[in-house]
Amino acid sequence: MRARRFPPSDHCDGRRFFNPDGQADHGLGDLLRWQLSRRPQPWSRVAAVAAPAPAPAAGVDDGMTVTYLGQASFLIQCPGLNLLTDPIFSRRASPLSWLGPERVRPPALTLDQLPPIQAVLLSHNHYDHMDLPSLRQLRRRWAPVIVTGLGNGAALAARGIPDAIELDWWQSWALGGGATVHFVPARHWSKRGLFDRRATLWGGHVLETAAGRLFFAGDTGYGGHFAAIRQRLGPPDLALLPIGAYAPRWFMAAQHMDPEDAVRAHLDLGAGLSVAMHFATFPLTDEGIDEPARRLEEERRRFGVAAEGFRVPAFGQPVSWRRAPVSGPPGPEGTARAASPGPDAASPPAPRPAGCG
Phi, psi of 259 (to 5 degrees): -60, -35
**Total-model pTM:** 0.88
Structural domain harbouring 120: 58-320
Is it the case that residue 346 has pLDDT exceeding 50?
Answer: no
Does any domain span residue 139? yes
pLDDT over 70, % of the chain: 88
Burial of 142 (0-12, 13-18, 19+ CB in 10 A): middle
What's the rounded mean pLDDT across residues 13-40? 83
Q: What is the pLDDT of residue 52?
A: 58
Is it the case that residue 333 has pLDDT exceeding 60?
Answer: no
Give the whole-angstrom CA distance, residue 313 versus residue 130: 22
Report the CATH number that the domain containing residue 89 is assigned in CATH: 3.60.15.10
Q: What is the pLDDT of residue 339?
A: 32
How many other C-beta atoms lie within 10 A of the C-beta of residue 113? 15
Phi, psi of 19 (to 5 degrees): -90, 125
Of the pLDDT bands very low, low, confident and very high (cuts 50, 70, 90), residue 58 is confident
Mean pLDDT of the chain: 88
Q: What is the pLDDT of residue 2?
A: 64
Does any domain span residue 150? yes
Is it the case that residue 3 has pLDDT exceeding 90?
Answer: no
Does any domain span residue 100? yes
Peptide linkage before 343 cis (omega within 30 of 0): no
Of the pLDDT bands very low, low, confident and very high (cuts 50, 70, 90), residue 249 is very high
Does any domain span residue 194? yes
| Contact partners, residue 31, CB within 8 Å, separation at least 6 | none
pLDDT digits (tens, 9 = 90+) for 214-235: 999 999 999 999 999 999 999 9
Q: What is the pLDDT of residue 271?
A: 98
Q: What is the pLDDT of residue 22?
A: 80
Does any domain span residue 4? no
Does any domain span residue 285? yes
Of the pLDDT bands very low, low, confident and very high (cuts 50, 70, 90), residue 340 is very low
Q: How many residues does the chain have?
A: 357
pLDDT over 90, % of the chain: 71
pLDDT digits (tens, 9 = 90+) for 59-71: 898 899 999 999 9
Q: What is the pLDDT of residue 260?
A: 98
Of the pLDDT bands very low, low, confident and very high (cuts 50, 70, 90), residue 323 is confident
What's the rounded mean pLDDT across residues 87-95? 95
Does any domain span residue 210? yes
Of the pLDDT bands very low, low, confident and very high (cuts 50, 70, 90), residue 47 is low
Phi, psi of 339 (to 5 degrees): -65, 145
Look at 184 and 49; give whichever has higher pLDDT. 184
Provide DSSP, 226-284. Answer: HHHHHHHH---SEEEEE--S--SHHHHTTTS--HHHHHHHHHHHT-SEEEEES-SSS--
Give the whole-angstrom CA distance, residue 329 versus residue 345: 26
Burial of 231 (0-12, 13-18, 19+ CB in 10 A): middle
pLDDT digits (tens, 9 = 90+) for 286-313: 999 999 999 999 999 999 999 999 999 9
Is it the case that residue 335 has pLDDT exceeding 60?
Answer: no
> How far from chain centre, in Å, is Cα 139?
21
State the total domains in the chain.
1
What are the C-alpha distances in Å from 223 to residues 6, 24, 261?
A: 24, 11, 9
Q: What is the pLDDT of residue 326?
A: 52
Look at 337 and 209; give whichever has higher pLDDT. 209
Q: What is the pLDDT of residue 43?
A: 83
Does any domain span residue 69? yes
Give the whole-angstrom CA distance, residue 51 versus residue 49: 5
pLDDT digits (tens, 9 = 90+) for 109-149: 999 999 999 999 999 999 999 999 999 999 999 999 999 99
Is it the case that residue 314 has pLDDT exceeding 90?
Answer: yes
> Does residue 219 contact residue 256 with C-beta atoms inside 8 Å?
yes
What's the rounded mean pLDDT across residues 22-47? 77
